[in-house]
Amino acid sequence: MFVIRAGSAEGRRTPPPDRQHPTGHPDHTARHHIRPDQALLYRLNGDRNPLHSDPAVATAAGLPGPILHGLCTYGVAARTLLHSVAGGDPGRVRRISARLSAPLFPGDTLTVLVWHRPGGAFFQALDGRGRPVLDRGVLDLR
């Protein structure tokens, strides 16, 4: 479960693990327009969290409006990696990991930056303002 501004299970925020961020220009950049109704469509997978669909609930949580499911954001980034690093072959993907660092809002743009490395890639995903929404991303190939 991800609870905004709640910190760890002990109630305090823990720093993310230290991992080097790639330097230089990314080897691949993909921009994806997120449909304004994407969170409502994604609910068909069974996630009924009102934070993704009800403006009153989102506002009460301190957000300007409903947010996109983190797993949907992650899935858009993973599809970019599948095609830009693994040649479209899911059998080549061993592991994908990333830190969800901020919410993405329906109607926004998701920009996925990919830096190739031996055995896979590093990646980061940004919202339309350039704020990281997925950070410290790693793709390992088989």
Beta-carbon-side half-sphere exposure of residue 76 (alpha carbons within 13 Å): 29
- The catalytic site residues sit at 47, 52
Cβ contacts of 73 within 8 Å, gap of 6 or more? 100, 104, 110, 125, 133, 134
Confidence band for 10, pLDDT divided at 50, 70 and 90: low
Range among 8-22, 33-47, 95-109 with highest mean pLDDT value = 95-109
User: Cα 9 vs. chain centroid, distance in angstroms?
Assistant: 22
The answer to whether 57 and 67 are in contact (CB under 8 A) is no
Q: Which domains does the chain have, with CATH numbers?
A: 28-141 (3.10.129.10)
pLDDT digits 0-9 by tens, 59-111:
999 999 999 999 999 999 999 999 999 999 999 999 999 999 999 999 999 99
Q: Checking DSSP bridges between strand 28-33 and strand 93-100, what pairing results, if any? A: unpaired
